[in-house]
Structure 1
Amino acid sequence: MGRIGAFHASTLAGLDAVDEVVVADLDAGLADRVAAAHGLAVGPDIDTLLASDIDALVIATATTAHAELLRQALAAGIPTFCEKPVAATLDETVALTALADASTTPVQVGFQRRFDAGYRRARAAVASGELGTVHAVRAQTHDKEPPHAAYIPTSGGIFRDCSVHDFDAVRFVTGREVETVMATGGNKGADFFAAAGDVATGAALLTLDDDTIVTTSATRYSGGGHDVRMEVVGSTASLAVGLDDALAVRSAEEGVTFPAGPPHETFMQRFRAAYGAELAAFCDVAAGRTPSPCTVRDALQAFRIAEACEVSRAERRVVTMTEIPDAPERTQWAS
């Protein structure tokens, strides 16, 4: 029942498809406060919840708890929504993917950009040929300010925590897979990034399997506002996601008044509508009406790209995606 958990609980409570929301947290007092604020029920613990007659489960805990909770949910046969990432490590993610693939229980992973109107419009434009031949994609996730220092050591690093959303969005919009990665990073911010082996700003150059070139960037210090965008450059037209009056960038050209502002402050503000659409879609998944729109295998592919970026940053070289395992028997590898 942290920030995203409380937000999801409130969103679910407002959906017509949901009769009741039951919340639980290791901090019982926190669960009680969230439940009281939104008129929700409180469950004593996860074991009790899984043994009850709930129709579906939403996992919004700290990353380190995702894998075990997802295993328990699959064993209980309960349709599950899990915030990204499904696990903290590549090996765990690979193992969970195999487990999910072998199960008939649906799992939806929380990559909310798949439900954002702009990203969906870009996907449709690419698929229809509206843009001609797509040659280049630019994607970015720029946070206005860094999270608390205690979060960074458990975040997985900027590529696994921030850019992974861009990696999933690139796959979603283009329908292509990444073949090679070259990544770098730097820190002109707080010392706690370097202390955790992380960077405050990262960038990656990706080559897709059809020779499309993708550039991504991420930073914890975008003082002008939360800035998430994508540009798709085609032979006949180009399209931009996030190019609206909330844009966190100001023009240097004289007389230009766009954007009118104000900019977004947080990712929850930027993607409020997408989060609602995402959970509404999960209700359909849980009811058996539609397949999962973002599977554990989708999450694995995004995580593999992030993993390749971390290897590239550390070793200062191009990394091919064939070096990053995608099956249990291939998880023993040297970096």
Structure 2
Amino acid sequence: ELIARAAGAGLPAFCEKPIALDVPGTRAALAAVAEAGTELQLGFMRRFDAGYRAAREAVRSGRLGRLHTVRAATSDAEPPPAAYLPLSGGLFRDCLVHDFDIVRWVTGREVVEVYATGSDAGPAMFRAAGDVSTAAALLTLDDGTLVTATATRCNGAGYDVRMELAGDRDQVVVGLDDRTPLTSLEPQGPTAPGKPWPGFLERFGPAYEAELDAFVRLVRGEAANPCDGREALAALRVAEACETSRRERRPVRVDDAPGSG
């Protein structure tokens, strides 16, 4: 609604995801923007993170060779308030949608099929909301690359967002530093971090600043739109396919997911 109102007033808009919680609502907002001829920039902040930008370059430059496996993981340190869950759209639309977007952006490929599942083990509020606290999805990209994407709301060690990309020449990882809440059990491996990431604002602070700086340059006419609303629609369609797959316990083509027609 707010996007449509901004478009109707002839104003550019910046919107953190989501545009809407369903595909029809997203399409309606995009139609309003297109009709008004205004700009809409989406806040998928990982696109502005230094590590993910380096990963994109590693893939596009050919450094990794033929990309064969991608592993994406998002783990929240603690769950959101119970009242938020029924409004969130669920774990795939609210949380993993970031992974679906960044997989597309880093690899330059589209997700064509998904097979997803989830577990509501843990706090009872997830079962009450019809949501899951932990989920996993196997994504197949349009060139055959396989992607695993996992998420949980209950990672007591800290906030953990990573992406591993493996090719036939090299392998790289995003999100591995001295604050990653991961402890090696190898005799000479790194110990537990002294100050693990507590949440997304701390982990992606510079990226949030960078995306807003990009929006200012867009409004001034100094740069093109780095992430328009169609990117949100593409990621949401993957999330919808995953939710259908989880509910119906079967592989789902993204083009066959609800609202994709």
Could you say whether these structures have the same fold, taking a TM-score greater than 0.5 normalized by the shorter chain as the test?
yes
1:277 equivalent in alignment to 2:207: no
Mapped to 2, the partners of 1:216 and 1:201 lie a distance apart of 11
Name the residue aligned to 2:94: 161
CA contact 1:244–1:259 (8 Å) conserved in 2: no
> Percent identity of the aligned residues?
54
* Counterpart mapping for 1:74-85 below 5 A: 74-85=7-18
C-alpha spacing 1:313/1:325, structure 2 compared with 1 (3 Å): closer
Name the residue aligned to 1:233: 166
1:218 equivalent in alignment to 2:165: no
Name the residue aligned to 1:93: 26
Name the residue aligned to 1:105: 38
* Counterpart mapping for 1:34-113 below 5 A: 68-113=1-46
Name the residue aligned to 2:227: 294
1:315 equivalent in alignment to 2:260: no
Give the partner amino acid of 1:69.
L
Name the residue aligned to 1:251: 184
C-alpha spacing 1:283/1:326, structure 2 compared with 1 (3 Å): farther
Of 277-286 and 250-259, the range deviating more from structure 2? 250-259
Name the residue aligned to 1:54: none
Give the match's secondary structure for 1:124: helix
2:118 aligned to which of 185, 202, 211: 185
1:199 aligned to which of 124, 132, 145: 132
CA contact 1:106–1:291 (8 Å) conserved in 2: no
Name the residue aligned to 2:53: 120
Q: Could you list the runs of 5+ residues in structure 2 that have no partner in the other structure? A: none
Mapped to 1, the partners of 2:172 and 2:30 lie a distance apart of 33
CA contact 1:181–1:204 (8 Å) conserved in 2: yes
Give the match's secondary structure for 1:92: helix
Q: Which has the larger radius of gyration?
A: 1
Q: Could you list the runs of 5+ residues in structure 1 that have no partner in the other structure? A: 1-67, 331-335
Name the residue aligned to 1:130: 63
Deviations 1:260-282 (A, max 9, x none): 44210011010011001110011
CA contact 2:73–2:162 (8 Å) conserved in 1: yes
Mapped to 1, the partners of 2:244 and 2:189 lie a distance apart of 42
Give the match's secondary structure for 1:207: strand
Give the match's secondary structure for 1:179: strand
Mapped to 1, the partners of 2:257 and 2:31 lie a distance apart of 16
Deviation at 1:206, TM superposition (A): 0.2
* Runs of 4+ residues over 4 Å off in structure 1: none
Mapped to 2, the partners of 1:108 and 1:256 lie a distance apart of 42
Report the TM-score when normalising by structure 2: 0.97
Mapped to 2, the partners of 1:77 and 1:246 lie a distance apart of 43
CA contact 2:27–2:233 (8 Å) conserved in 1: yes
Pairwise CA RMSD of aligned residues? 1.3
C-alpha spacing 1:112/1:211, structure 2 compared with 1 (3 Å): same
Q: Which has the higher contact order (CA 8 A, sep 6+)?
A: 2
Report the TM-score when normalising by structure 1: 0.76
1:140 equivalent in alignment to 2:73: yes
Say how many residue pairs are matched.
261
